[in-house]
Structures are given as structure tokens and as C-alpha cells.
Amino acid sequence: MAVDGNKLQELIGKMLGDVGAAMGTALVLLGDKFGFYKTLAAAGPLTPAELASKTGTVERYVREWASQQAAAGYINYDAQSGRFSISPEQALVLADEGGPAFFPAMYEIAATTVRDEPKVANAFRNGGGVGWHEHDPALFRGTERFFRPGYAMHLVSEWIPALDGVREKLERGARVADVGCGHGASVVLMAKAFPKSRFFGFDYHEPSIDRAREIARAEGVADRAIFERASAKDYSGTFDLVAFFDCLHDMGDPVGAAAHVKSTLAEDGTWMVVEPFGNDRLEDNLNPIGRLFYAASTMICVPASLSQEVGLGLGTQAGEARLRQVLAAGGFSRVRRATATPFNLVLEARP
């Protein structure tokens, strides 16, 4: 086959950038761990010595770290003063953990995929899967930290109001189940916004439930945010709203989970299904968001599904049409797209 030299150089250039980004994953984690970004945002511009002094670290390492981060465009360097700084935009992405665009947590997730590669490789060779509980523990923390800002930005102000009559029910007082709740970020947000309602978070992963309880106590909502260990097919109770946040595609038997949701809904109850946004056709997902989601799907989501009974393996890019098929098979005849963001699809389902 003839090689096009220009296309070859273009591919090499792209991979050079990708490898540089991959090698920089650990440096973003260090910046997050030692508070370098937050310190630059609060006290910058700073020399490496000043940054090291303020963070209790060693200047020589900090100098090399800051140089790489400036080369990456994550922070800025002024040659005249020898100081590094962070712009408001960079700070929003790298230093503001409570803001809408915080991203270091995704690097935390990315790092776990490398650590867990041998387990996934074994599944590639022999079949089966890798359960959520079998992953590096940093995955659980990174997932909560990454998804929390998006939920804080959209859940109460946009997603719940997009559901027919649900906000009014929550304001009056309702029972809500959050299935696959992880560390409980979405439960806590809803409990704060709707103090007359009671919220029940369910997850099969006991360490996540323990952490969710700690967070609920710290946030002052433990009286109305209850967490219990249970799976999507065996949690108990009757609820006005059941919510699945970015977890249906991880389940081995999402149809069975849907059928169980139906059995736990109160009369005129609603199921809110929040899933990663994906188009129905592969070719329409060949973009930066699809690249990220397919990577997570390969290393985390599909292995999780294939480790369970049925093992449907929806993946993060299942698309609305496939999701509707699953919900219909579980007994939901009325499904509509309530709203969407570039990262999430929100479906409202009723029997």
C-alpha cells in the first residue's frame, strides 16, 4: 500500500499530542493533589519556589511540573518575571471543584483505566467482565467528583423541571429513589433543593454507600437522604420518582432493572433515566465526546455489564433508540426525551 507522507505526518503529530496528554495525566493529578492550581488561582502569579513554599512541596519538582503544565497550556509562564499564573478560564476548569467545568476528576478516572488494564485485558482474552467493585478505588472518587458539577448545574434547575409535574410533587413532599447512587451526589443535591421530600439512595457497592452516608451527614441532609445497599433489581419501596443517573448502561440486565422500577413506582410515578449522550449511529459519535465515552465504555462500562447476569453490554453510546427499546421491554410504554445536554440524555418514562 502506498503511504501518503502528509497523512503520515498528520497522524504522527496527532499521536504526539495524545501521548503528551497521556503522560500529563499524572501531572494533573499532582496539581490537584497538592493544590497547585488552587494556590495559583488564589495567590498567583508565583515562582516555582513561591508555589512550593505555599504548598509544602519541593521547588525542583514544582519547577518541572509547572514547566510541563505551561507547555500543555494549562497554566501560563511569564519569561520576564519567571512566574507562573492561571487565567480565570484555566482556574474554572482546574481549580474550582464546585464549579460547572471542573475537570481533574476525569484525569483521576483516566488513571484508573491504566491501572485496571490487566483485568480488562483478561476479559478481552477470556470473556466475562470486570465488576464495578473490582476497579481501582480511585474510580469511585473520580466518578463522583466529575459528575457532581454537571448534576449541580443541571439537575434541579433543568432536568427535574423538564419532567411532567415532578417538581411540584417534590416541592409538596414525595418519595424518591436514586438507584446506582454511588457516593450520593445527586441525592444530596435533591435533598437540599426539596426539603419536604425524602430521598433513598441505593447502590450494590457497600463502600460507596458508606461514603454517601458520610457526605449526607456533612451536608446536613442525613434526616431525609437515606442510603441502603441494594441492587437495581432488589431495592424495595414505593416511589413517586425513580432516578437512574449514568448507570443503566452499566447494568447486566437493564431490562430486568426496568421491570423492577415499574413495580416500585407509585400510581402516576415517573422514572427519570439520565444517560451519557450518544447518537444512534456509530458514525455520528466519531467526535471528541464519542472518543471519551467509547474509551470509558471499553474500560469500565461494558466490562461492568458483562460481569453480571444477562450481560447486555449497552455501553455508554447506546443511543436513544436502543435505550427506548430497553425501557419498552421493561414495561414502559410512554417514553419521551425530556431534555439533553452535550454530555447527557434525559428520558422520562411511564408505564
Cell of 204: 450494590
Q: List pLDDT tens digits, range 117-166.
A: 999 999 999 999 999 999 999 999 999 999 999 999 999 999 999 999 99
d(CA 170, CA 293): 32
Q: Nearest CA to 308 among 249, 252, 267, 269?
A: 252
pLDDT at 100: 84
Q: Give the residue-averaged pLDDT of 34-51.
A: 97
Q: Give the residue-averaged pLDDT of 56-83.
A: 98
pLDDT at 98: 83
Cell of 25: 495525566
The Cα-based distances of 127 to 135, 277, 298, 306 in angstroms read 17, 27, 13, 8
% of the chain surpassing 70 pLDDT: 100
Tell me the domains of the chain and their CATH numbers: 23-93 (1.10.10.10), 105-350 (3.40.50.150)
d(CA 289, CA 269): 33
pLDDT at 1: 82
Let me know if 286 is exposed, middle or buried by CB neighbors in 10 A (0-12, 13-18, 19+).
exposed
d(CA 83, CA 40): 10
Torsion angles phi and psi, residue 74, rounded to 5: -85, -30
Q: Give the residue-averaged pLDDT of 332-348.
A: 96
d(CA 60, CA 32): 18
Band (285; pLDDT cuts 50, 70, 90): very high
Q: Give the residue-averaged pLDDT of 342-349.
A: 96
Element (H, E) at 284: none
d(CA 74, CA 333): 48
Q: List pLDDT tens digits, range 15-34.
A: 999 999 999 999 999 999 99
The type of residue at 152 is A
